[in-house]
Structure 1
C-alpha cells in the first residue's frame, strides 16, 4: 500500500467531492513515474500518450514497478512531483491516468488537472493573533473538517513544524474567524510552510469566515485543538551479517 492507496478509500471515482479533493491534494505531493516514448534526448522528453474515449492521457504510477507491470516490461520514465506533471499536462490539454489496476487508480481529464493547478496556486491568508480580542475553542464543524487533514499535513512536515493549534479568534471590530497557529517553525521557512497549509485548505470545503494561518507565540486557550507532529524515528540498525554466510544475490 502506498500513501496514495491509503487515502483512496473509497476509490476516487466513488468518493464525494471533499474526499476527491483530499486525494488530489495527496497526488500533488506524490512523486510520480511518468512513462516516456523513449530515452531522453538531452533535456528533451516525450511522454507516452494513450487515446481513450475521454481523450488523450499520459500514464504515471507512484511506484516504478507498477509502471513496468502495466506496460509489461521496463520502460523509460521520468520521476517528478504530481503537481509539476499536472501543470504540464494541463497546459497541453491532456489528461492523466494514474496507477491503473490499483485502488488508487485515477483518470483525470484536462479540466480536472486545470482545477488542480488552480487550487495549488492558493496563497495563504496570514495573520498573528496578538491583536485578537479573544481566542476560544474552534467550532465543532471546523474541528470535524480540519483535524484529520491538518494532522496528515503535519506528518508530512516533520522537522519543519512542531505543532498546530486551531482556535476561533474574535477581533476588535466584532468579526470572528478561525486561525491555524503553527509553532516551532524556522522564520526562514514560514512562507513555504504557510503556502503548504494554504494549499491544503484550498482543497477543503469553505469554513464560514475563512481560516487564517499564523505563527503567533501567544498562549492558546486550553480549549484549542492542538495537533502535535509525530516524532521522527531513526531507522532500525540492520542486524550484523554472518561473515561465513553465503552471498545474497539480487
Structure 2
C-alpha cells in the first residue's frame, strides 16, 4: 500500500509540475519594448495603457464609427489601412483583439509586412486580391522559405499566421475592400521595406550590401527613397 501511495503521490507531483510550467510564462508584450527602471515614481505603463475607473466607463468607450468610409488610396502604394486597435477604441484594452479595414485602388498593394503580436484573418468584401505569406527560416538550411498564395474573391477568407511576412495585392479590374481581425489589441506592424531601407538613422550600407548581395549604389538608391507607411 505504501508503494502504491508513493507512486500516486509522485504522479500527482509530476502532473502538477507540468501544469505549473504551462501557466508560468509571461503575458505577450503589446509594445516593442519597456526598459526597466528602478524609480518607483516614474510614469511607466507596461503595455502602454492604464485602466479607466470602472465607475466612469460609458458605452462610447466600446464604440467606434466610420469603417463604412472609403480609405484614401492616393499614395504610392495605392492602399490604405484603417486600424481599429486599442489606440482608436479604448474598450479593446486587455481584450486581445482588434480589426482593420483595407482599401485597394487598381493595382494597389498592402506591401510585405508582419504583425509581431497577432495572427490575422482577412475577409474580402469587394474585388479580387492576390494574397500570400512566407514561412520562417526552415530547420534544413538546404530548403527555402515556403510561399503560400491564393486569389481571393468576395466572401473568401484567408489567414496569416502570427509574425510571418505577408501581403495583399489588388489583382482585379476594380477597387477592392477587405476587413481583417487580429488576435491582439495592439498587433503592431513592421513593413519590411520601410524598416530595412527607411529606418532613422539608416542602417549601415555595409550591412545591407552584404545581406542583399548587391552593390552599394543599389542600397544608396533604396535608402534615398520615400517609404510610405501602410497605416
**TM-score, normalised to structure 1's length?**
0.21
Larger radius of gyration: 2
**TM-score, normalised to structure 2's length?**
0.22
